[in-house]
Amino acid sequence: MGLLADDSGTNLSVETPNQFTNAWDNWSFYNPQSGSDTQHPDSQKFGAITTVSHSPEITHLPTVLSDYFFKEVIKLYSVWDSQSNQLRILAGSFWQSSGVLYHTMQSMAAALLTKSFPNLRAIAIGERQMGLECLRSGNDTDEDRLIGSILLGHTASWIKPHELSHENFENSLEMLHAWASKTHDHSRLSFFGGAVDYWAMLLSFVSEPRKDHNFLRHSVVEAGPSRADGLINPHPFIGTSGSIVQVLTELGTLIFGYRKRVSEIDFISEKDLEVFRKSIQDARQLERRLLAFKPLLPMSVQDPGDQTTSPAHFVKIDEGLRCTGLLQLYRVFPDLLNDRYQPWDSAALLQPRPALKTPSREERNTWLTMLALHILSINREIPFESRTRCMQPFMFVAASCELRTDLDGGNEASGMDSNSISIQISLARDFVRSRMVAYLHIFPLQKVETMFQLIQSIWSEIDNGKEVFWLDVCKKLNLGTLMG
């Protein structure tokens, strides 16, 4: 077993290349003599790709990429990291004996390094293909294949931003159900279940499901299970938001299907009306479920041992996601907002009172803008260094289409003058812009560029006086990607 140190100095016990335990801090991409004789058995397959001929030079590439995966990739990919991170534990246990996991790790590491080392893009693509071939061969154990399938699916967009990897998702669901019937390991069930749930949510907003969502793994085990002492263990991918993520998956599926149907209608039929009525009924049920969630207290969440990420950050993410779900419902189904409309009051957001009046279009828009500003203020309270930042871009995209600069009806809708709201909107745009620019450096992936391009395109549309929904802009400009 080797030891890796995270940002807090905590020693992380994982299986890493024996002579590369502490190599990353001392090793340089510019040092052509660095290397190790300890390699994964499959590294002999690399041949010519074990070195990069263009300056700066990388030698012993498979070992370097494996080390980079443990040192950096896991920390960027997780919402928290410490010795107890299940992804770190599973990868450390299996990577040297699992072909699918080994090649997937290589691909993920190479993809993250591509911006600094463009030649690694070919390595990332090739390693991903080898991981898929190993997955299809079925030579690895059930757990190896399951984690490999999930990681390959989650990170397909790291190489091709628009690749959603539906086939991997469907295979992962089937493997998870088969494996769940044979194991009693609650901790690992929770990890795999939460990973699939998060993936399902990200897919639901930008694509049509290919399987009935009743087949989703909700019956397996809740993500983020409670411990014997009553504390909630945060999941490495979704923190404490397991239940909210499941509701958002249903919400995303509903909204995607509804907007798709609306876009295809030339003349309304009775069947269309039936679909619309059913959609509104489903939306009301989802609204009730979102409003019924009891907010967690930080003291009820197990501290994951990551100095950059505290239990309070998970609670804020929960709050932000719940409000984001409500924002989507009230934008797409305005009758829901009409039923509860009162001048904006953040304190009453989750405990709505009967409607004071039927709002005008301008009043609805201003109310939704205030909700979007509220969502962004929640995210602003989370330090940039927090690893939960990888869950925030989805909220930025969803809130972006409510950041209008030409609001009317501001006084009545919010109790504030229009100039004050306009200043808040300008500051909110600056906040989103600065975070997304920073993400381009921290997560040097084309998918981040795609999300930022989508946000900027939305602002361009609304600045030209159009009322748009982000999903419609996403579809029109082909900017769909996994936003997490």
Q: Are 255 and 332 in contact (CB under 8 A)?
A: yes
Both tokens assigned to 342: 């009162």
Integer CA distances (angstroms), 89 to 82, 188, 221, 299, 404, in order: 10, 10, 20, 25, 45
DSSP states along 40-57: -GGGGG-GGGGS--SSSP
> Residue 192: which of 204, 178, 203 has the closest Cα?
178
Going by the DSSP 8-state scheme, the letter that residue 211 receives in this structure is S
Q: What is the pLDDT of residue 261?
A: 87
Domain boundaries, the chain: 1-154
Task: Check: CB of residue 127 under 8 Å from CB of residue 106.
Answer: yes
Residue 26 predicted with pLDDT over 50: no
CB-based contacts of 311: which residues, under 8 Å, 6+ apart?
Answer: 234, 298, 299, 300, 301, 302, 303, 304
Percent of the chain residues past pLDDT 90, beyond the cut: 65
Cα three-residue angle 402-405-409, rounded to 5 degrees: 80
Distance CA 336, CA 87 (A): 40
Q: What whole-number distance in Å separates Cα of residue 183 and Cα of residue 237?
A: 22
What residue has token string 């002492």? 229
Separation CA 178–CA 174 (nearest Å): 6
The mean pLDDT of 411-417, rounded to a whole number, is: 56
Contact in structure between 189 and 221 (CB atoms under 8 Å): yes
Window from 45-54, 231-240, 299-308, 408-417 with minimum mean pLDDT: 45-54
**Mean pLDDT for the chain overall:** 84
- Which pLDDT value is given to residue 32? 31
Res 238 pLDDT > 60:
yes
Token reading at 158: 């790291």
Considering Cα of 111, then 113, then 117, then 120, what sign does the dihedral take?
Answer: negative
pLDDT band at 142 (very low <50, low <70, confident <90, very high): confident
pLDDT in tens, 306-317: 999 999 999 999
Q: How many other CB atoms are found less than 10 A from the CB of residue 278?
A: 12
- Residue at token pair 């072909």: 99
- 455 with 425: CB under 8 angstroms? no
pTM value is 0.86
Which pLDDT score is estimated for 263?
85
Looking at the predicted structure, is the pLDDT value of residue 187 above 80? Answer: yes
